Chains A and B, each alone.
Chain A
């Protein structure tokens, strides 16, 4: 993984000093909250309902054991003993004191971490496939390019005051686990016929109150042009994106209002002027960054094949966990382990200090000192030998981290909602918890199969409800929390925005409504192989609406 050199260390240290100075000016009253706001936002500090919140960047979701242990230490020392992993592969702390935040940043800098650009109208932490570098279906590891983008975008002089936040995601596989088509820029790393690396470039995806699927504006951009082309896109956006209305300020609105053809023309024209500039990436630069991401040398562990089979036979719980939470590694002696942060009835994405420390220990001993954070708010151990799976499982089980539900109905994405967030209209976490409890039985989840439920507590859609197979949106109506349901959303290589079923449901009704939808699916699927999304795409919304609102209802 990427390691800081002297330059990175000095840069982050100076940035901590800058922010320390700004916090002191705020605490002394020299800066008003209004003046302080954009500065704290550049450093990941939000003001929420009850307290400041600090969001720490985990570039493309990759962490070492030492870094994870530090995150646990911060949770224990400066927060209430836990942290919350987010849909942008970051971690946020909900209860730090403002005066402590410079100290936290100092501690993060010790382990090559920071909180820059996790908020504010700048280029945010670049995300990538959480199975990067290990997935059997990958063309190339996208993280070196995410790292190049991270460096290029850090305190970018031209792009630190964009019309609105700007999110970039990169995937290196045909099957998109990074939801690139819901991003401002989505990059699909691939090879052309000559075997050269480049990107399909998507622009203008986003969620929020106006969900849009990104448009592909280039099928193959040579890797050397990554920064010049990205600069062209962001420059056109910076100059022409709307600044009169923050809800219309994302690039998706510019794409929509300008038209994708005209906007592409402007981007290409800008790019022609930049193409041969010093933004062009020489192969030597790309190679230098790639060396940081060289796959670890994994010893042969063929004994795992037999050991795994035996352990599965002997331990049904282990067998279920392996089947659900372990996915194929490029090396057949190894597996990729998803650590579910979705215990039945728990808070999606939360991890305690002890759990973080445990994961750090396991990663050091069993996963080449590497951990990933997924945008689905789980953790990943990317390199576990099949022979070690049972030992890892036992360790995880002891601390409530072995829930066998990756990709199942209880693997729910939820935003913090009204329990924390100043923007929310409704609570998200309690709804997630009740759904999780309703469907928590292992046999029932397995019977239902792959089903992604995503819950947002307001139209800003941080819980990605638009792209949930089942999406739940909390709204406020006449002082009451109401939940609107959408169906058929998806954020993979065929990204779709879910359709609203009809009138919303009260907090009491919503879990029953979800159950009706699930039962309807179970009743109409052609076989167990036809998952919820496939069935929905085949039959459409009608049977589900009928189940929810009755045959006579004209709800739409």
Chain B
């Protein structure tokens, strides 16, 4: 993520972290490696750097070490280590690159990932509901309209969904057609 934002030459001072209960402080910093992270208590490393850590370091470190995954990177190497990951940040380099939705579904739905699943990158208000339903816990937001709408809890959601899915208090727990058809 840090890599991507640096490459784009963008600087987002107003970057904020949002979860279902509202905006919250973000304890994590992004770093290329543990060495450059200083003594930050929570760090997000690129996938390769994270996988390069000793299992021991990951398990016994007194800081939280999360991992950043770009859409082109496979999550397969993470799957047997999920109990040692406190946070996975899945990237949306552009809002219309939907690969991270499938990864969220696989991580949360199939593998029961218990840590924080975070959406980073081009997070816009019109996709927030999809992200929550795909299993994201937190969203890293920079877009001004998204910030405004989220502050007002104005998501323009539909009152129910046709698919089962995480992330919605309103989900009745199944497909819409499982209800008795109207007479």
Binding site for B on A (CB under 8 A): 3-8, 10-11, 14-15, 17-18, 21-22, 25, 30-31, 35, 38-39, 121, 148, 151-152, 154-163, 235, 238-239, 243, 273, 278, 285, 288-289, 291-292
Q: Which residue of chain A lies nearest to B168 when distances are taken between CB atoms in the complex?
A: A157
**A162 and B133 alpha carbons, distance in the complex (Å):** 16
Q: Does A161 contact B177, Cβ atoms closer than 8 Å?
A: no
Q: Does B101 contact A14, Cβ atoms closer than 8 Å?
A: no
- Nearest CB of A to B169, in Å: 15
Q: Does A161 contact B175, Cβ atoms closer than 8 Å?
A: no
Q: Does B162 contact A121, Cβ atoms closer than 8 Å?
A: no
A-contacting residues, B85-112, CB 8 Å: 95-99, 101-105, 110
**Shortest 4 CB-CB contacts between residues of A and residues of B:** A161-B98, A157-B133, A5-B182, A14-B158
Q: Does B164 contact A278, Cβ atoms closer than 8 Å?
A: yes
- Whether A151 contacts B181 in the complex (CB less than 8 A), given A235-B102, A238-B99, comes out as no
**A21 and B95 alpha carbons, distance in the complex (Å):** 19
**A121 and B102 alpha carbons, distance in the complex (Å):** 15
Q: Does B158 contact A38, Cβ atoms closer than 8 Å?
A: no
- Whether A239 contacts B99 in the complex (CB less than 8 A), given A151-B175, A289-B177, comes out as yes
Q: Does B182 contact A243, Cβ atoms closer than 8 Å?
A: no
Q: Does A151 contact B162, Cβ atoms closer than 8 Å?
A: yes
B156 within 8 A of A: yes
Apart from A38-B95, A285-B177, what are 7 other A-B pairs with CB-CB below 8 Å? Answer: A18-B156, A148-B177, A155-B130, A158-B104, A159-B98, A161-B101, A238-B102
Could you give, for residues 129-148 of chain B, a 1 whenever the CB lies within 8 Å of some chain A CB and a 0 otherwise? 11101100000000001000
**A158 and B161 alpha carbons, distance in the complex (Å):** 13
Residues of A within 8 A of B175 (CB): 151-152, 285
Q: Does B160 contact A7, Cβ atoms closer than 8 Å?
A: yes
Residues of A within 8 A of B133 (CB): 157
B178 within 8 A of A: yes
Q: Does B96 contact A121, Cβ atoms closer than 8 Å?
A: yes
Residues of B within 8 A of A154 (CB): 162
Task: Pick from A121, A151, A278: contact of B177, CB below 8 A.
Answer: A151
Q: Which residue of chain B lies nearest to A274 when distances are taken between CB atoms in the complex?
A: B110
Residues of B within 8 A of A31 (CB): 145
Q: How many residues of B contact A (CB 8 A)?
A: 40
Residues of B within 8 A of A289 (CB): 177, 181
Q: Which residue of chain B lies nearest to A121 when distances are taken between CB atoms in the complex?
A: B96
Residues of A within 8 A of B158 (CB): 10-11, 14-15, 18, 155
- Nearest CB of B to A293, in Å: 11
Residues of B within 8 A of A5 (CB): 179, 181-182
B174 within 8 A of A: yes
Task: Pick from A30, A38, A151, A158: contact of B134, CB below 8 A.
Answer: A158
Q: Does B161 contact A14, Cβ atoms closer than 8 Å?
A: no
- Whether A157 contacts B130 in the complex (CB less than 8 A), given A21-B156, A38-B96, A152-B162, comes out as yes
Residues of B within 8 A of A6 (CB): 182
Residues of A within 8 A of B124 (CB): 35
Residues of B within 8 A of A8 (CB): 176
B165 within 8 A of A: yes
Can you report 12 residue pairs joining A to B where beta carbons are below 8 Å apart? A7-B176, A7-B179, A11-B158, A11-B159, A15-B158, A25-B145, A121-B96, A152-B162, A156-B162, A161-B95, A278-B164, A288-B178
Task: Pick from B101, B126, B160, B180: contact of A11, CB below 8 A.
Answer: B160
Q: Does B126 contact A22, Cβ atoms closer than 8 Å?
A: yes
A-contacting residues, B20-52, CB 8 Å: none
Q: Does A14 contact B98, Cβ atoms closer than 8 Å?
A: no
- Whether A3 contacts B98 in the complex (CB less than 8 A), given A8-B176, A278-B174, comes out as no
Q: Does A10 contact B160, Cβ atoms closer than 8 Å?
A: yes
Q: Does B177 contact A158, Cβ atoms closer than 8 Å?
A: no
Residues of A within 8 A of B177 (CB): 148, 151, 285, 288-289
**A211 and B170 alpha carbons, distance in the complex (Å):** 43
Q: Which residue of chain A lies nearest to B180 when distances are taken between CB atoms in the complex?
A: A288
- Nearest CB of B to A44, in Å: 16
Q: Does B98 contact A162, Cβ atoms closer than 8 Å?
A: yes
- Nearest CB of B to A60, in Å: 15
Q: Does B145 contact A30, Cβ atoms closer than 8 Å?
A: yes
Residues of A within 8 A of B55 (CB): none
**A285 and B178 alpha carbons, distance in the complex (Å):** 6
Residues of B within 8 A of A239 (CB): 99, 102-103
Q: Does A14 contact B99, Cβ atoms closer than 8 Å?
A: no
Residues of A within 8 A of B83 (CB): none
Q: Does A152 contact B163, Cβ atoms closer than 8 Å?
A: yes
Residues of B within 8 A of A151 (CB): 162, 175-177
B3 within 8 A of A: no
Task: Pick from B95, B102, B110, B176: contact of A158, CB below 8 A.
Answer: B102
**A520 and B108 alpha carbons, distance in the complex (Å):** 63
- Nearest CB of A to B131, in Å: 8
- Nearest CB of B to A416, in Å: 25
Residues of B within 8 A of A25 (CB): 145
**A47 and B1 alpha carbons, distance in the complex (Å):** 34
Q: Does B97 contact A243, Cβ atoms closer than 8 Å?
A: yes
**A35 and B175 alpha carbons, distance in the complex (Å):** 31
- Whether A156 contacts B96 in the complex (CB less than 8 A), given A17-B156, A161-B101, A273-B110, comes out as no
**A17 and B154 alpha carbons, distance in the complex (Å):** 12
Q: Which residue of chain B lies nearest to A148 when distances are taken between CB atoms in the complex?
A: B177
User: Which of B124, B133, B145, B182 has its CB near the most chain A CB atoms (within 10 A)?
Assistant: B182
- Nearest CB of B to A285, in Å: 6
Task: Pick from A14, A15, A38, A158: contact of B105, CB below 8 A.
Answer: A158
Residues of A within 8 A of B126 (CB): 22, 38-39
**A86 and B158 alpha carbons, distance in the complex (Å):** 29
Q: Which residue of chain A lies nearest to B134 when distances are taken between CB atoms in the complex?
A: A157
- Nearest CB of A to B77, in Å: 15
Q: Does B159 contact A158, Cβ atoms closer than 8 Å?
A: no
User: Which of B103, B156, B162, B176 has its CB near the most chain A CB atoms (within 10 A)?
Assistant: B162
- Nearest CB of A to B150, in Å: 15
- Nearest CB of B to A209, in Å: 21
Q: Does B181 contact A161, Cβ atoms closer than 8 Å?
A: no
Task: Pick from A3, A14, A22, A152: contact of B157, CB below 8 A.
Answer: A14
Q: Does A238 contact B159, Cβ atoms closer than 8 Å?
A: no
- Nearest CB of A to B120, in Å: 16
Residues of A within 8 A of B181 (CB): 3, 5, 288-289, 291-292
- Whether A14 contacts B159 in the complex (CB less than 8 A), given A288-B180, A291-B181, comes out as yes
Residues of B within 8 A of A157 (CB): 101, 129-131, 133-134, 161, 163, 165, 167
Q: Does B163 contact A238, Cβ atoms closer than 8 Å?
A: no
